[in-house]
Structure 1
Amino acid sequence: MHTADMSDLLGKATLRAKGQITLSARIREALHAREGDDVEFREEDGVVYVRAVRTIAADQAWFWSPEWQAGEVEASQEIARGETEKFDSTDEFLKSLGQ
């Protein structure tokens, strides 16, 4: 049996009659869980692991693709370095694109 250091204890919850538990704010924060997220349980060698699973709507999945996220990182880095341009009008912006 695994004996955890009690200083690692995030809290505890009481199992209710219908199999429901309420997670404390501290536990939800540790799981990065928000209302509406699923919570997934996995057992391995007698230890139960828990994690929050956030479902992404099909019409939003493109944003979370590795390619799009790489572009988001690149854009954030360019903004942080001050590599931006400001345009006073849509026409000016389109002209800069060669339109």
Structure 2
Amino acid sequence: MLTEIRSRSQITIPVEIIKKLDLKKGDTLEIKVDGDQIILRPVVTVPKEQAFFWTNKWQQEEKQVEKEIENEKINSADSKEQLFKDLEL
């Protein structure tokens, strides 16, 4: 596929690529130059106050909790009374 640079340095991304990557108006693309290549990559941005969730440490801890849930190592309570009873053990 080919595209050309238009006025104001704009390009059109072919519709086939838009559909394949499920891109929508307003989506954010990262632009990277690698040698003589221009690489466009869709990215999802998150508010700064939520960025902690996507750190490696937090994601590792999330995976650990998921494993504990799968292995039934995490208990749940049906009521606050049951919760407090379980905490007393």
TM-score normalised by length of structure 2:
0.65
Deviation string for 1:12-59 (max 9, x for gaps)? 778776725354221x25xxx666441012122211212122211022
Q: Does 1:21 align with 2:12?
A: yes
CA distance in 2, matches of 1:72, 1:35: 32
Flag structure 2 segments of 5+ consecutive residues without an equivalent: none
Aligned CA-pair RMSD: 3.0
Flag structure 1 segments of 5+ consecutive residues without an equivalent: 1-10
CA distance in 1, matches of 2:7, 2:87: 63
Percent of residue pairs identical? 24
CA distance in 1, matches of 2:26, 2:87: 42
Amino acid across the alignment from 2:12: I
Amino acid across the alignment from 2:69: I
CA distance in 2, matches of 1:14, 1:67: 43
CA distance in 2, matches of 1:20, 1:75: 45
Match of 2:43 among 33, 47, 53: 53
TM-score normalised by length of structure 1:
0.60
Please give the secondary structure, in 1, of the residue aligned with 2:78. coil
